[in-house]
Amino acid sequence: MASAALQALIFDVDGTLADTESVHMAAFNHAFAEAGLDWVWDVALYTELLDISGGKERILHYWKQVNPDIKAINGQALGDKISRIHELKTAAYESAVNSGAVSLRPGVLKIMDEALKTGLQLAIATTTSPVNIAALMRHAIGSDWRLNFSAIGDASTAPIKKPHPQVYLQMLDAMQLPARQCLAFEDSSNGLRAATAAGIATVVTPNSFTAHHDFTGALKVVPDLSQVNLQQLRQWHAAWAR
């Protein structure tokens, strides 16, 4: 059997790398107004909707709630409408990130730097769009941010959203590593379920939108990564892998 020594860290994006959800919520509301819809998602509603992974999927789910007769609408026309709303939302989110509305959560950059200096691989496993990832990481790390990551999985590469493990399985394949040599970082129950279904030990850093989730099965649940170092992560992982 191959060594279980830690070889890679795999990060979710929204809510894990950065507290993005309030900015996403505002971007959705901006898009609804631009599209001529009277929808307004407040914190309580958006917290519920976060159980649905993926922005387009979230819009469709809500549309079905407010319009039970949705089946009477042409499927292609509905799909086009949702895609347009999501494009407006993505543009609004990217603009907000570029203006400095979002920053990485405490300790994230420190852990990444430690990992890279000691030869660990970094990867991203998310259900968000490539545009959203690029906007966040470019603002936080710089234009060469992609050079830090061995593999990136997102909504364009993994159409089956979390809690399905598709995106994590893709990252394991891309890095050519077994699950037992990796450690995942998530903030939500869906993310935790996706990572653990792929056989990856998972550290959870909840936020205000996910604090109520069930994190049974997590390796550790910590407020953020500010009080965590790579040595601790190695110890936690080694104890799990024994």
- Say which of 12, 19, 154, 187 is annotated catalytic: 12
Distance of CA 171 to the CA centre of its chain: 14
Per-residue pLDDT of the chain (242 residues; tens, 9 = 90+): 457 899 999 999 999 999 999 999 999 999 999 999 999 999 999 999 999 999 999 999 999 899 877 665 566 888 899 999 999 999 999 999 999 999 999 999 999 999 999 999 999 999 999 999 999 999 999 999 999 999 999 999 999 999 999 999 999 999 999 999 999 999 999 999 999 999 999 999 999 999 999 999 999 999 999 999 999 999 999 999 98
For the stretch 20-57, pLDDT in tens is 999 999 999 999 999 999 999 999 999 999 999 999 99
**Does the annotation mark 14 as catalytic?**
yes
Helices (H), the chain: 21-34, 43-49, 55-66, 75-98, 108-117, 130-140, 166-175, 189-197, 230-241
Q: What is the pLDDT of residue 68?
A: 75
- Say which of 14, 19, 154, 187 is annotated catalytic: 14
**How far from 16 is each of 9, 28, 224, CA to CA, in Å?**
13, 20, 9
**Does the annotation mark 38 as catalytic?**
no
Q: What is the pLDDT of residue 48?
A: 96
Q: What is the pLDDT of residue 1?
A: 46
Contact 22, 47 (CB under 8 A): no
**Structural domains in the chain plus CATH codes:** 8-20+103-241 (3.40.50.1000), 21-98 (1.10.150.240)
Contact 118, 230 (CB under 8 A): yes
Convert 199-210 into a string of H (helix), E (strand) and C (coil): CCEEEECCCCCC
Contact 52, 58 (CB under 8 A): yes
pTM of the full structure: 0.92
Q: How far apart, in whole angstroms, are the C-alpha atoms of residue 168 and residue 125?
A: 6
Quick one: which of 4, 1, 9 has its CA closest to 117?
9
User: 3-class SS at 14?
Assistant: strand
